Chains A and B, each alone.
Chain A
Amino acid sequence: MIPNRLAFAIFAAVIGIGPSWGADHAIVLASTTSVEASGLLAQILPQFTAKTGITINVVAQGTGKALDTARRGDADVLLVHDPEAEQQFMDEGHGSIRRQIAWNDFIIVGPSTDPAHIRGGNDGVIALRAIAAAQAPFVSRGDKSGTNAAELRLWKGAGQSPDMLAREKWYRDIGGGMGQALNAASAMNAYTLSDRGTWLSFNNKGSLVVAIEGDARLLNRYDVIELNPQKHANSKLDAAKAFADWLVSPDGQQAIGAYQANGEKLFNPSAAAPK
């Protein structure tokens, strides 16, 4: 704490600003990129801070990296969306309580020319088979994020393993965030899987349109995970718990449900009735 304070004093003197840094009540939230990129956190966090005086420092990473950050002890609370990876995290004993806060869905977006002729459908697996058959370009996140995991599960349903896909020229693993994948798909006239939140708030769609939506397999659940104090003894866990409790409280749920981008609701609060 002391080096932090000292650095803060020097730094504030140098540039004459005083951000939230050095505050007693600041916790690190490792989150998936979509809740940050969609603007949700920017909307709801000030409400929580106003109520509790606790500042949330958001480090937006893919779910895989966010879980790793918490494993290393570098985060105080998690907001992620990959059920399988989360379960593994819980099984390893890193997490104590895991609660769903909201859901939306994944969609397959692609060029309006629709080379694989999948537009208008609602079956993700059939769509991926058609994309593979047409050898139409497909952009993969390739970053172990929740969206990447959902994409690979869908490909598995379509009979394609990651190894098989890696050999295909039309399958382009970009190793980047959702926005980067959408930028790449837009530039290459490729299909990609996106969470609806990032898609709706994304501003460089080019000729991309929604090709597939409404598949039950494309449900996208967001969970808040508190850390296990036995593995991650940390003075900030109380503040982290207050944040997790607020997200599932009526106030927090209302704030999540009220958020809109470009006139559309992005996240459906679901703490009371998890999907």
Chain B
Amino acid sequence: MRSNRPVDRRETELNEFVQIVALSIGISLTATVVAAAISLPVGAALAIFPFRGRRAFVVLINAFFGLPPVVVGLMLYLALSHSGPFGFLQLLFTPTAMIIAQATLAIPIITALVHRASERAWARYGDELTVDGASRLQAMPQILAIIRADLLTAILAGFGRTVSEVGAVILVGGNIRGLTRTMTTAIALQTSQGDLPLALALGAVLVGISISISATVFALAGTARTAGSDEV
């Protein structure tokens, strides 16, 4: 019995580690996809459709680049709490709450970057795209296609924001073992237990994963780019 223990423990720890990594990536990818689905059309629309207050809106979106994760976490915590307005959804301390928090953080970044690239593309190709009587709405997908290389950067920046933050997910997720413990919250916990080597190892894995994902996406984009021209 006793001799089996260390092996069991190591296996449990490995399983737990794999689960933490999978959960981190799953949550952050989902949050990034959700954020991108909102940010791409909004970012392009901001460049294409003039409306009253657009300038102020753009300034606000850019200001939210620096939205402190802990503030987002606190506001979501109060909103999702049982005694808050969305308490009936029972989302506090679940991965869904963490996805909402991370998406909230990524949306301003992706939107602002998409808007900036769309603005340049619209200034250059806007007349061409609407010359045949096509509406601005019809021009939107084409603008997004023109700036697809910038979309990649924007989405990766959003993913980087989601996977690296700890302040918001620890508040709304609660750092529950096996349920809402991600790499960043695990690093915070290991540090607080004085397990600095383990915390550092987790940190190295986190950085490694970020680099691999970025490299993979750029490799895929490189393959796609040889197929068509990509001049902006």
Contacts and interface: CB of A to CB of B under 8 A. Distances in A.
Interface string B84-120: 1001011111111001000000000000000000000
B66 interface: no
Nearest to B199: A204
A180 B192 contact: yes
Interface residues of B, number: 34
Contacts of A203: 193-196
Interface stretch (A57-65, A92-100, A157-165): A57-65
Contacts of B29: 14
Given A21-B94, A28-B93, A74-B93, A58 B194 contact: no
Interface residues of A, number: 37
B224 interface: no
Interface string B37-68: 00000000000000000000000000000000
A73 B81 contact: yes
Contacts of B93: 28, 57, 59, 74
A59 B19 contact: no
B36 to A, nearest CB: 15
Contacts of B96: 3-4, 7, 11
A3 B194 CA distance: 37
Contacts of B19: 17, 19
B149 interface: no
A204 B30 CA distance: 36
B26 A15 contact: yes
B175 interface: yes
A19 B196 CA distance: 27
Contacts of A183: 191-192, 194
B82 A177 contact: no
Given A4-B91, A11-B26, A73-B83, A37 B192 contact: yes
A74 B91 contact: no
Interface in B10-49: 19, 22-23, 25-26, 29-30
Nearest to A37: B193
Contacts of A176: 192
B178 interface: yes
Contacts of A50: none
A202 interface: yes
A186 B195 CA distance: 13
Nearest to A202: B194
Nearest to B92: A74
Contacts of A60: 175
Interface in A30-67: 33, 37, 42, 57-60
Contacts of B22: 15-17
Contacts of A74: 81-82, 92-93
A179 B192 contact: yes
A201 interface: yes
B100 to A, nearest CB: 10
> 5 closest A-B pairs (Cβ-Cβ)?
A204-B194, A73-B82, A179-B192, A15-B26, A59-B174
